Structure 1
Amino acid sequence: MTIYKAGKVSDRRDRLRDELREANAALLELEHVRTGGDRSNAAISAHLAIRDRLEEVLLEEVLYARYTPVHERRRSTYGAIVFESGPPEDMADTLHLVPLGPGAALEDLRSLANGMTSFVVRTLDTTLGIGLVPAPAREQTLVDLAINLNCDVVQRHPSGAVRVFGRERLLIHEFDTWRRAPYGHTRWLSLGESVAADSRTAGAVVDLAMHVLSAQQVGATLVLMLRGTTSDLGPRLSSAPRALPVDLNVTNVEHAQLLATALAAVDGACLIETDGAVSGIEAMFMPTDKAKKAINLPKRGARHHSAARLSFDVPEALAFVVSADGAVSVFSDGRSILNLDPFRSEADSMAKLAGRENADKISEGIARLSCPACGKRLVVTVTTIDGWKDRETLDCPVCETNAIYAKNCWEISARVLKPWEA
């Protein structure tokens, strides 16, 4: 057990490293600094040296954010933006840089960086100045900043949480615990495969749900059309949606806060066209008897049941539910295909493959069948590993009817066949 002496920066840094390691929350992603395809020993050594230096700078910034100065019994907010080499030239619309004055030091700048509108801007070797953002930085703003400017953002939020925005994920330290959360849009890669669709709009809806509505604890239901228009929902509506007084589109990040404000004050669903246009809010749905019989979610409330049953009745639609506690669920064909919980660390869904013998001898087979209970057509993927002979069974992913398919294999999974698939 390591003994740390209070107040020692080096000891705090070692303790922070231990915290991150125990939480499986690395400051740098695996491909954080790239070698440009050069795999020579010199290039790899240079790559590792840059990674080490970047990690040291981020550790320093996270430590400062954790222990900012106390004034009137409260720690001040803070923010820093770290570039590997330097900021891009074309960032005027995103970040305005006020250069470091003569003789000024990093500590002088930190007193001006509030983490909401102003941030210390630095590289691995140089402090550049103060960066100003056009409006108070919400979670989605900082996600976009990290991705679009290819940088890392460290923020001490007014709530006391310390957040590290990387290129692909967000690290959060809150209530003495680190957790790792994926960015919403990065989950669309697996989500798109699950619903046999390629809608860039869906990535924007996931971001809206995760980084705007969830971050502000706004409970809501969002219905996105993958095919057709929201007018096709007419037979399933028990009350017509109300049009907004302005045209909003979920793919426009500037509209996100307007939509969040509108949804925070109403019940019902927000209807979204395939191109991201918001056609209305406060929509209420009336499920079919078949949907009521097939969909039963014992641990979920009315909002989740309504969304799941709508997606069962209308396979051309995805239903996103944001709970008031921040969790996000996505339903397609009556089943939950994605769950994002901001208070749980991201898990590696393929972790159980680790250490399997003969893992290099994996093969997959595809079958199609219909559930005898709910009638949904399914695409079944059977994964086989040489020598693995256990009998696996598949329950219907929609109505949960037991053992509709069985085979000697390693794993069986299924998704619902969409109407537009051959």
Structure 2
Amino acid sequence: MTTLTLIDADGGLTAVPLAEAPAHTKPRHPLTSRVAYAAAHVVPKPFADNTPGAPAEIDWDATLAFRHHVWSWGLGVADAMDTAQRNMGLDTAATRELISRSAAEAASVGGALVVGVNTDHIADEVISLEQVIDAYKEQLHLTEDAGAGVVLMASRHLARAARTPDDYRRVYREVLAAAGRPVVLHWLGTAFDPSLAGYFGSADTDAAAATLLQIIEYNRDKVSGVKMSLLDAGAEVAVREQLPESARMFTGDDFHYVGLIEGDERGHSDALLGAFAALAPSASAAIQALDRGDVAAYRDILGPTEALSQQVFAAPTYYYKTGVAFLSWLNGHQAAFQMVGGLHAARSLPHLSEIVRRANASGALERPELAAARWHSMLAVNGIDFATAKPVEESAEKSAEKSAEAEATDAAESVGLLA
């Protein structure tokens, strides 16, 4: 039996059985019951200067091949968003080339694609509301000219410049008026980006949601949906139930997506998730089950992945990109565990080990033998002899033996049999 060595926070090693890859199959027809996008990451050249502050040098073959992997499972790709390290290493030149290349690849296979539009080509400084509007429009036009759909991302510049909810209403009104077709709005919470505190004009979620809903209502013909990434299922459902029929709710809640996507008699959320970049086969298989009306199978497939996603997105949540790239490497979608800006060093070895454990338990390892070999090689590079790990069953037996010995010693001491 092949085993998988895991390491805990104290350096202790255990070995668990390596699970077989689930027998998921790619869809023969488009998915129909839910609209689902995987927010994809970027793969840098492994020999590039992938250090903090260095320009992004992208391995375009691997990066685009990953997008084809997502499309092959019937999912759409959400590109050039926070998962692709916007505002965390992906510079303007690389962002624009990514949008152009991804749009061309999507057109070549008929793949669904939306990309992030932001203001991040402007230096990280305070600018006026007029400059925020112009910056948004510049990226909006470049994206539409490339042929991609638009996700209007939350802007750090707008968060700094805006003073009232009216400022948000004005900026979005003017930017949306310039859009050639309906766009998806994005509400990104502070767990993902602390600089976005008070977005939509208030730190109170209900008040901010009211402003967001007003923006959608006043611009119905220009808003096709909203992606909420607050990690607050209750807030998402509350907004979802107030949306006009013309707008979809795309869950960005990587902690609670199983129930939100399943929904209830009052409605459901569609999906635009960084988690789905790491879970494309499972996400596809689960939605295929919903297409067949098999809710139990949906829960069986997707339910176990939520614990994995919660580990990937554990605080500090903005380092979740490291887990997405790590799983991509384990599953053979990139040659090296490298990230733009050195972000591959943002998580500890025990944290990554727990990702391995949960991926193994949830069917997220697409090629288990390869994943085990790569993970064990990483342990070896870090000076850890993975072959010395004790199987979980044996460790439990040893623990029981030690407990029995301790109890016997305590009993002997209590009757004076030991000196």
Q: What TM-score comes out, normalization by structure 2 length?
A: 0.23
Larger helix proportion of the pair: 2
Larger strand proportion of the pair: 1
The structure whose RCO (Cα within 8 Å, separation 6+) is larger is 2
